[in-house]
Amino acid sequence: MELKALANLARGQPGILHQITSGLVSFEFTRGSPHKPNTLIFVGGLGDGLASVEYLADIVRALTDTKWTVFNLILSSSYGGWGMGRLGKDIDEIAQTVSYVREYKTPVYGSGKVVVMGHSTGSQDVMHYLNCPNPRPAHPVFDKGCPGVVRPQIDGAIMQAPVSDREGILWVIKCGTKRDSPETMRELYNKAVADARENTYEDDGNVDTVVPLSVTGRIGYPSTAPVSSRRFLSLVSPDSPGKPEEDDLFSSDLSDEQLGKTFGQVGKRGLLGHKLLVLYSGRDQSVPPWVNKEALIKRWENAINTEGREYWDRRSMVIPGASHALSDDDQAEPRRILVEQVMSYLKDIESS
C-alpha cells in the first residue's frame, strides 16, 4: 500500500540475481546453503521492490537451515511502476518466474516445491493468479487480442495484509487530511473519477491517460508516482460493491456472490496444490475501523472451500497488534507470529 524504507536485509546479503526474461528479474537470497530445492517467491505491494518489506529479513533468516530459498520478484509494476501496471501483467510475470524456478532448480537440486507469497497488493496478485481463467483473457488495449501466459500450478500460496485499496481511500476521504476537509476530499475524488471515466485512454485508445499528481497525491498516493486513469479506476472501483473492478478483491462489503467469483473459483482453476494461508494484520493502518477482520476472513474461508475440498489453511488468522507491513518499532511479537505461521505452513508443504 505504501513505500517502505529499505531494510537491512539488502546490505551484504548473499544471493543470486536471476534474469527471468529480458525485462524481468528476481533476487534469490541464498543465506546458508544455496543448494535448496524449494522456493518461496515473494511479491511486494504498491511501491515495493527489493527487500523493501522489512519482515522478509525475518523469513530469510528463519529459512537458513531449511531446504527453502526466497526469490524476491521485481515485477514491472514494482517501485513506482504500480500506477501504470495491472494485475493481469503481474500474474503473467509470476507465471514466468514459477516456470523459470522449476526449470532452473530441478536439474541441479531435484524436484522441489514452489510457494508464492504476496504482501498487500501482492495478495491481489496471488488471488488473481489462483482464480483467473488460465490463460487470462486478453486486455482489449494492451494485449492486442493475445491472451496471457499459461500459468503453472503452484504448491502453496500465502496472502499477507490483503486489504482493500477502495476502502482505504474511502476512509481517507471520510476523515479528510491536514490540508483538505472531508468535503474537499470528496470533491477531488468525484472529479478524478469522472475525468478518468471520460478520458481513460488517448491516441485512439492505445495509450493510458494519467490522473493529475496534484489529485492522487492528496488522496493518499505518493505524489511522485504517476497513476493511470485505468489503474486508478481499478483501485478505487467506484461501481463497487455491485460491480467491482479487477483490484477490488478484498473489500468487506462485497457480496457472497462476488466472493464466489474470486475465492470460489480457486478450486475450479486447479492452480493451488495445497491450501491458501491468509495472515491479516490486526492493526492495519489501511483498514477502516468499520471492517470486522475476523468475520471478513471467515467469509473468505466459506467462499474458497468449494468443489468438495478445503482450500483454506487452518493457520490463517488475524495477527494481533500487527501493522500493515509489520514495520513499526513495536512489531517484534507480530513478526514472530508471522514467521512461525509461515514456517509451519512451508513445513507442511514440503512434506505433502
What 3 state SS string does 41-68 have? EEECCCCCCCCCCCCHHHHHHHCCCCCE
Interval 256-305: pLDDT, tens? 999 999 999 999 999 999 999 999 999 999 999 999 999 999 999 999 99
pLDDT of residue 1: 38
- 250/235 Cα distance (integer angstroms): 11
In the chain, where do the E strands start and end? Answer: 15-21, 24-29, 38-43, 68-74, 114-119, 156-160, 201-202, 207-208, 210-211, 227-228, 276-281, 317-319
Residue type at position 26: S
Residue in the structure block whose three cell numbers are 512489531: 331
CATH number, domain 8-163+250-351: 3.40.50.1820
Percent of the chain at pLDDT exceeding 90: 83
Cis peptide before 241 (omega within 30 of 0): yes
Q: Could you tell me if 76 and 85 are in contact, meaning their C-beta atoms sit under 8 angstroms apart?
A: yes
Between CA 262 and CA 254 the distance in angstroms is 11
- The residue to which cell 517501485 is assigned: 79
pLDDT of 3 > 50? The answer is no
Q: How many CB atoms lie within 10 A of CB 320?
A: 11
Which residues have a Cβ under 8 Å from the Cβ of 4 and sit 6 or more positions away? 47, 48, 52, 53, 54, 325, 327
Neighbours of 343 (CB within 10 A): 15
Question: Which pLDDT band holds residue 8 (cuts at 50, 70, 90)?
Answer: very low
Selection from 167, 156, 115 nearest residue 296 by Cα: 167
pLDDT-derived band at 5, boundaries 50, 70, 90: very low
Residue written as grid cell 471467515: 298
Residue 168: pLDDT band by 50, 70, 90 thresholds? Answer: very high
Q: Where are the domains of the chain?
A: 8-163+250-351, 167-236
Q: Which three cell numbers stand for residue 324?
A: 500493515
